[in-house]
Amino acid sequence: MSQLEDIRRYVGSVREETEDIARRVWDYAELPFEEYKSADLFKKALAEKGFEIEDGLAGIPTAFLAKCSVGTGKPVFGLLAEYDALDTLSQEAGLTVRKPVKEGAPGHGCGHNLLGAACYGTAVAVRDYMKDNGIDGTVIFFGCPAEEGAGSKQFIARAGYFDDVDFCYTWHPSNYNEVGNTGSVAIMGANFTFEGIASHAGGSPHLGRSALDAAELMNIGVQFLREHMIDQARVHYAFTNAGGTAPNVVQDHAALKYEVRAPKVSQMKELFDRVVHIARGAAEMTETKMDYEITMAFSDYIGSPALSEMMSACMEECGAPVWDDADYEMARNMLKSYNEATISNIRETLAERFGADKVDELMEKPLHGGVIPYERVKNPVYKSGSTDVGDVAYASPTVMLNTATSCLGNVGHTWQNTSFCGSRIGMKGMMKACEIMTLACIRTAQDPALIAKARAELLAKNGGHYTCPLPDDVLPPVGKY
Ligand SMILES: [Zn+2]
């Protein structure tokens, strides 16, 4: 029996409970930092399998780890599980028309139910395989909540939990099968507040100092900044307090929320400082007081090149999920739920990825049935999303892969994705991710030279250690994000 066939047997033995966990977490659909039922489900299942639980990592009640050692306990490796849902995306599983399970309730529109469950299946299958085959190592399942909120992995990394971890693997539900190196960017979010002096805007305007003017001047300053920043950077803002609704009052209070993104964490921090300078200038111009509070930050994600190459080879060996007629039918029908603009966008993307001559055929059978070669993944096109997996990747060599759990061109954070992530298509993609990660964990644990190479690459990238982009006094915003 080949090693892959053997590993498939181990993955097969955890399949039923992995799918059951995925369905139950999908049902719970809990919001960031509120994932108590989901975390308890994972903790209970892992404890029953002999894993040792450490609860409340970095002061976050729904963050935990579950670890199990075999033999010498070296190397140490982690699986990064998520299980938070998105607001208002409740939707019946497997349906291709909009029908919430509960109107306005949260739903798993990013597939984190599948993400967490595949990490569970991998942790157990890997541990069992190691035990039966005399392979040493420690498997750690990291329960990481609130990826869709303020994130948790940067706090867990800041607390040092990844310092002695030799490598980390994770995955994300997707439309494609590929080793993810999608170039997620760094992000920092902050609240800016301005305090002025209230006055009658008609009777005594000269006595007032407008916080609203300061907020507007800050925004204008940032508009001018946009000409002088790198192309890939983004600065977003929203008014969270415009000072009230009465024009005849000089507003003494105003607040803005800003988010700054850039490809590298160093570029992001530099740009954020420039935004703070502008805010100070706006306060100076209006004789108001400015204060700001950083609320969130993620590092950019760059997967470990050495481990990505190995992971990609494992993926090609395992192959894509196997789809049947019922899967293709659901996928085809789901495409019909998108409007014309989205469909033409999907067709363009497919043409870019697979060639214009393939588009009609793919739209007829819209589920990815191949594996995108690593050569094409190595130089990713710029993407402007962000994830807290980036922070782990600066602390320990990390790889995130993608498997297809939804139709080609499916849009994330939609009811359509909630439907896929509770369906048999989602389960098939999840079990494929479980198989690939299990194979990769075993191969890596048996290859000290590869682990050393990945560590050397990481040290060159992070300057010797992980630095959290958040100031030390920024605590996890549990219950207030
Ligand atoms: Zn996600």
Cα-to-centroid distance, 376 and ligand 1 (Å): 22
Cα of 434 from ligand 1 centre, angstroms: 17
Residue 377 has pLDDT above 60, yes or no: no
What's the token pair of residue 123? 């942790």
**pLDDT greater than 70 at residue 379:** no
- Tell me phi and psi for residue 140, to 5 degrees: -120, 120
- What's the CA-to-centroid distance between 384 and ligand 1, angstroms? 14
Rounded distance from Cα 343 to ligand 1 centre (Å): 22
Going by pLDDT thresholds of 50, 70 and 90, the confidence category of residue 376 is low
Asked if residue 209 lies in contact with residue 197, where contact means CB atoms within 8 angstroms, the answer is yes
Mean pLDDT of 66-75: 98
Residue scoring higher pLDDT (302 or 474): 474
User: What's the mean per-residue pLDDT of the chain?
Assistant: 95
pLDDT at site 434: 98
Angle between helices 424-445 and 305-318 (to 10 degrees): 130
pLDDT at 180 over 80: no
Residue 123 C-alpha to ligand 1 middle, in angstroms?
A: 20
Domains plus CATH for the chain? 3-184+301-462 (3.40.630.10), 186-297 (3.30.70.360)
What pLDDT score does 385 carry? Answer: 77
Q: 70 C-alpha to center of ligand 1: Å? A: 31
pLDDT of 326 higher than 70: yes
Q: Which two tokens stand for residue 78?
A: 């982690």
| Average pLDDT rounded to a whole number, residues 40-59 | 98
> Residue 182's pLDDT is what?
60
**pLDDT at res. 324:** 98
Q: pLDDT grade, residue 303 (50/70/90)?
A: confident
Tens digit of each residue's pLDDT (9 = 90 or more) over 83-126: 999 999 999 999 999 999 999 999 999 999 999 999 999 999 99
Q: How far is the CA of 172 from the centre of ligand 1 (A)?
A: 7
CA angle 96, 333, 173 (to 5 degrees): 70
Q: What percent of the chain has pLDDT over 70?
A: 97
| 262 CA → ligand 1 middle, Å | 19
DSSP annotation of 56: S
Q: Is 269's pLDDT higher than 70?
A: yes
**Rounded to the nearest whole angstrom, what is the distance from the C-alpha of residue 449 to the centroid of ligand 1?**
32
Q: Is the pLDDT of residue 335 over 70?
A: yes
215 and 418 in contact (C-beta within 8 Å)? no
Distance of CA 144 from the midpoint of ligand 1 (Å)? 12
What is the predicted pLDDT for the residue at 375? 73
pLDDT at 381 over 60: no
Cα 379 from Cα 43, distance rounded (Å): 38
**CA 147 to ligand 1 centroid distance, Å:** 7
Return the pLDDT at 382: 56
10 Å Cβ neighbour count for 452?
12
Residue 86 C-alpha to ligand 1 middle, in angstroms?
Answer: 9
Residue 257 pLDDT greater than 60, yes or no: yes
In this model, does residue 481 exceed pLDDT 70?
A: no
Task: Provide the pLDDT for residue 479.
Answer: 81
- What's the confidence (pLDDT) of residue 183? 66
| Cα 185 to middle of ligand 1, angstroms | 14
Compute, in angstroms, the gap from residue 11 CA to the centroid of ligand 1: 23
Query: Quick check: helix, strand or coil at residue 66?
Result: strand
For residue 149, the model assigns a pLDDT of: 84
| pLDDT for 394 beyond 70 | yes
**Alpha-carbon span 305 to 398, nearest angstrom:** 9
